[in-house]
Structure 1
């Protein structure tokens, strides 16, 4: 009996989600799960979803969504010499064995992988078990894991056109990056959002994002710029990362002590932005300063916000730089290389954008042209098409 016959008889679909263990993978997986659940719920089909992977940042999000979490070990190959590479080879082998038995016990209908080191053992195990796999590549320059498993995949879904050069064209579909519906349809007004963060309605807001784990170098840049930004009546929401929050908070407090009111409330640091915090931060922001991970770029674009992108120089294959270049082609962002990211230059870029309504409108329109709103829904449909299910 085929999977299709079983599923139609039982009205049940079992899906495994796999990813690399960071927020950049977690949230797109959630977006696809929500889109798939919307389809299955409308057809009275029970959706069983599992996340199989290593320890993941904010993995409680999966549990809140009703996705069961199954832990495995996984090794990470670094792009430089390290004894840890040899240790992680054994971790990868252990992860493949663990994944094999986890998948054997669940026997899902299909696997959706976001790539990364955490997904690699799951996809390899799925190949040996004959479970169909669809992979998604977020970046313009693909990571090692997705290039390794491309031959196993039934379909390869891409965020950027540029990534087509690295995969078999007959498998490739470009849909963009899956984005949570709550971001695409964020109906929080700027006034509501500024009130949420205790900010003034009539002053511009710059949102600083350092990625899911924060960025020490962006944090340092914010601290070095904070006094001049505040004195230019610019309010700041700053996502610092959990590890760095206390240090940044204390350093900022010392700087702010020498500033008069009302500047003290102009700076709002947060260790981490949960979904509610993040939606309000995006709604409040007039401009976003961020790393150039694919997830951040697509969420900024979906929010139609002008951006300054500071690519991480050490990103694998310099993919953040290429992501930023692809996005900047739409005139939606300014790229500031980290080696040139001095406080004076950052402040100049911020003031040049905020003080030029025409430039802001060009960037907003560029973001609208870039974003593909239906990526999560398209991926959900692709998963069903691979299974030859037409709900």
Structure 2
């Protein structure tokens, strides 16, 4: 039977950053991370790594430490480097639940990737491993188990991915974002902690925390006009982009729009937007701003917007909850085990979001949902409060605290 801890039962993060055990050995403390594939895996991993440093930095002279990442950094390599996380490259071998010729290719690759992970893990020999799941994580988790290194895994979605389902059998602790997913991990000590939020969203920016009106001004929007933030996940969504651009005229007549397209889609979306708004008045055209990816401006975008339209990845949901913003969620139908569908309806059941399945994504329904949220003060306030009650701002700190505890025990 599972020993499931709720957020209120998990040790809160230390108010003064200090590891739970200070009897350090004389050797260097090494904490490893693995997991990746998309921003939904990588950004929570960064959040936990930042909190590990926050815990350990005051005690650096007591015991030096290093952070390692095992895997393929993809387009995020520079962010690992900027955090002084040493990258140990491990090839990727993806598990799939569906039929694909790539399953044959990856089945051939898997033994080589496993040997690579075990051999490289041996030469680093970390004191603990945190796995975020995703492409390439399982061989590293298996290597840690083989060398009796404690492993903590985190599952972001209501329906666990195949990598985490396998990794759980070799892990020491399991943390989950949604209470529903705790039921999927039997025989393990499971803690429901929420999803780690990026530190740059929580700890603020040079402008500090801004009101909705102030944030709109910073981003160049009219502070008195409603702002809709459109996101399609860390890599963007072509179908969501196409739908929004097809309805750009209708949007700018009622609202302002900040649209994150994804880097690969930006140029084509910019061209389509110019065509879509060709017949609009100049002041209407100014209401629509487009960006490939919001990074430094992400916090201001969340603060400025009145409603969020996005896919239903765990990262998007928990970030919307952190900023207490009502959402219109459009689950990705192809998501593994349809996890975005279940994420969306789990969150919507709390009253914080409306859900439109992609097959039902039609202009009339879309505008009806957005109008309902923004035109009725009672509805907006209720959804905002529901989102606020779902937020878990200390998830990264709680996970980091446990990882450090496992490493120094």
Report the TM-score when normalising by structure 1: 0.93
Alpha-carbon distance in structure 1 between the residues aligned to 2:195 and 2:121: 26
- Secondary structure of 1:211's counterpart equals coil
Alpha-carbon distance in structure 2 between the residues aligned to 1:21 and 1:57: 10
- Secondary structure of 2:182's counterpart equals helix
Give, in angstroms, the shift of residue 185 of structure 1: 4.6
Q: Which residue does 2:16 correspond to in 1? A: none
Q: Which residue does 2:253 correspond to in 1? A: 231
Give, in angstroms, the shift of residue 113 of structure 1: 0.1
- Partner deviation per Cα, 1:270-299 (whole Å, 9 max, x = no partner): 11121x121121111110001111111011
Alpha-carbon distance in structure 2 between the residues aligned to 1:367 and 1:11: 45
Alpha-carbon distance in structure 2 between the residues aligned to 1:136 and 1:121: 16
Query: CA 1:220–1:47 in 2, change beyond 3 Å: closer, same or farther?
Result: same
Q: Which residue does 1:352 correspond to in 2? A: 372
Residue 242 in 1 paired to residue 260 in 2? Answer: no
Aligned 1:258-277 pairs, distance under 5 A? 258-274=279-295, 276-277=296-297
Give, in angstroms, the shift of residue 116 of structure 1: 1.2
Give, in angstroms, the shift of residue 153 of structure 1: 0.3
Aligned 1:89-104 pairs, distance under 5 A? 89-104=107-122
Report the TM-score when normalising by structure 2: 0.89
Alpha-carbon distance in structure 2 between the residues aligned to 1:37 and 1:11: 18
- Secondary structure of 1:213's counterpart equals coil
Q: Which residue does 2:407 correspond to in 1? A: 387
Alpha-carbon distance in structure 2 between the residues aligned to 1:205 and 1:5: 47
Residue 38 in 1 paired to residue 58 in 2? Answer: no
Residue 72 in 1 paired to residue 93 in 2? Answer: no
Q: Is the 8 A contact 1:164 1:172 kept in 2?
A: yes
Q: Which residue does 2:8 correspond to in 1? A: none
Residue 194 in 1 paired to residue 249 in 2? Answer: no
Alpha-carbon distance in structure 1 between the residues aligned to 2:142 and 2:188: 21
Q: 2:397 aligns with which of 352, 368, 377?
A: 377
Residue 21 in 1 paired to residue 37 in 2? Answer: yes
- Partner deviation per Cα, 1:204-248 (whole Å, 9 max, x = no partner): 11111101111011001111111001011x111111111111111
Residue 114 in 1 paired to residue 132 in 2? Answer: yes
Query: CA 1:97–1:278 in 2, change beyond 3 Å: closer, same or farther?
Result: same
Give, in angstroms, the shift of residue 129 of structure 1: 2.2
Give, in angstroms, the shift of residue 189 of structure 1: 3.2
Displaced runs of 4 or more, over 3 A:
4-7, 9-12, 44-47
Give, in angstroms, the shift of residue 386 of structure 1: 2.4
Q: 1:211 aligns with which of 226, 233, 240?
A: 233
Q: Which residue does 2:352 correspond to in 1? A: 332
- Partner deviation per Cα, 1:144-199 (whole Å, 9 max, x = no partner): 11111211100011111111221125421111111123323541333343233321
Give, in angstroms, the shift of residue 104 of structure 1: 1.4
- Secondary structure of 2:274's counterpart equals helix
Give, in angstroms, the shift of residue 6 of structure 1: 12
- Secondary structure of 2:76's counterpart equals coil
Q: 2:172 aligns with which of 154, 168, 171?
A: 154
Q: Is the 8 A contact 2:80 2:86 kept in 1?
A: yes
Q: Which residue does 1:365 correspond to in 2? A: 385
- Secondary structure of 2:210's counterpart equals coil
Q: Is the 8 A contact 2:246 2:276 kept in 1?
A: no
Give, in angstroms, the shift of residue 7 of structure 1: 7.8
- Secondary structure of 2:70's counterpart equals strand
Give, in angstroms, the shift of residue 73 of structure 1: 0.9
Alpha-carbon distance in structure 2 between the residues aligned to 1:83 and 1:170: 34
Alpha-carbon distance in structure 2 between the residues aligned to 1:261 and 1:198: 15
Alpha-carbon distance in structure 2 between the residues aligned to 1:46 and 1:189: 41
Alpha-carbon distance in structure 1 between the residues aligned to 2:154 and 2:121: 20
Residue 126 in 1 paired to residue 144 in 2? Answer: yes
- Secondary structure of 1:10's counterpart equals coil
Alpha-carbon distance in structure 1 between the residues aligned to 2:22 and 2:103: 42
Q: Which residue does 2:10 correspond to in 1? A: none
Q: Which residue does 2:15 correspond to in 1? A: none
Residue 299 in 1 paired to residue 319 in 2? Answer: yes
Q: Which residue does 1:136 correspond to in 2? A: 154
Q: Which stretch shows the higher mean deviation, 98-107 or 221-230?
A: 98-107
Q: Which stretch shows the higher mean deviation, 263-272 or 302-311?
A: 263-272
Q: Which has the higher contact order (CA 8 A, sep 6+)?
A: 2
Residue 282 in 1 paired to residue 298 in 2? Answer: no
Give, in angstroms, the shift of residue 249 of structure 1: 0.6
Residue 257 in 1 paired to residue 261 in 2? Answer: no
